[in-house]
Amino acid sequence: MAEDPNSRPVITTASSPYLDCGNSSTETPWYDKESMLRVPKYLILVEVILGLLVWALIASTEYFHFSPFGWVMFVTVFYWLLTLFLFIINLANGKIRHIPWTRVVLIFNCSAALLYTSAAIVEAALVNQGVKGHHDFNCWAASTFFAFLVSLSYAGSAFFSYKSWHRGDE
C-alpha cells in the first residue's frame, strides 16, 4: 500500500485540570509536591519568630514572682535557641557527617511539641494570677496564645519530620 503524500498524521492531546506533580503516581488538584517540601522550612521560621515573641513577652513582666514561669521560660528559651541553631544550619544547607539528621529533627520536633504544649498549659493556668488590664496580664495572655501557636507549629514540623523519616530520607 502506498501512502498518500497529502495525508498528515493527526496528533491529539488532552488537557487535565490537575496539577502535574512530576513523578507522582496520583494526580490531585490541590497537591503540589514542591511546595509541600517547603512547608517545614516555613514552619521553622514561624517557630523562631513566635518563640521569640513568647519568651520576650514573658521576660517583659515580673514573672519571677511565680515559680512555674521558670519552667515556661526554660522551655521557651531552650527550644528557641535550638530552633534558631537548626534554622541557621538549614539556611547553610550544612550537613554534619555521621549524624542521622532526619531522626534527630524528628526527635527534636516531637519533644518540642510536647514540652511546649506543657509550658503553654502551665502559662494558661498562670494567666489568672495577673490583674486584668495590667501589663503583666496582657503580656501573659498574648504569650499564652503564641505559645499554643508555637506548639502547633512544632507538631506540624514533627508530622513532616515523621513523613521524611518514614520515606527514608537522610
| Cα separation, 120 vs 72, whole angstroms | 7
| Cα separation, 132 vs 140, whole angstroms | 11
Whole-angstrom CA distances from 119 to 74, 104, 139, 144 are: 9, 22, 15, 9
pLDDT of 31: 45
| Cα separation, 76 vs 139, whole angstroms | 15
Give 63-114 pLDDT, tens digit per residue.
888 888 889 999 999 999 999 998 888 777 666 667 788 888 899 999 999 9
Q: How far is CA 12 from the centre of its chain?
A: 44
Q: How many Cα atoms are found within 13 Å in the side-chain-facing hemisphere of 121?
A: 6
Burial (CB count <10 Å: 0-12, 13-18, 19+), residue 154: buried
Q: How far apart are the first and last CA of the chain?
A: 59
Q: Where are the domains of the chain?
A: 36-167
Give 134-167 pLDDT, tens digit per residue.
778 888 899 999 999 999 999 999 999 898 888 8
Q: How many Cα atoms are found within 13 Å in the side-chain-facing hemisphere of 71?
A: 15
3 has a pLDDT exceeding 70: no
pLDDT of 134: 73
Q: Tell me if 54 sits within 8 A of 76, measured CB to CB.
A: yes
Whole-angstrom CA distances from 135 to 76, 84, 121 are: 20, 28, 20
pLDDT of 170: 60
pLDDT of 18: 46
pTM of the model: 0.72
| Cα separation, 51 vs 78, whole angstroms | 10
pLDDT of 122: 93
40 has a pLDDT exceeding 70: yes
pLDDT of 96: 67
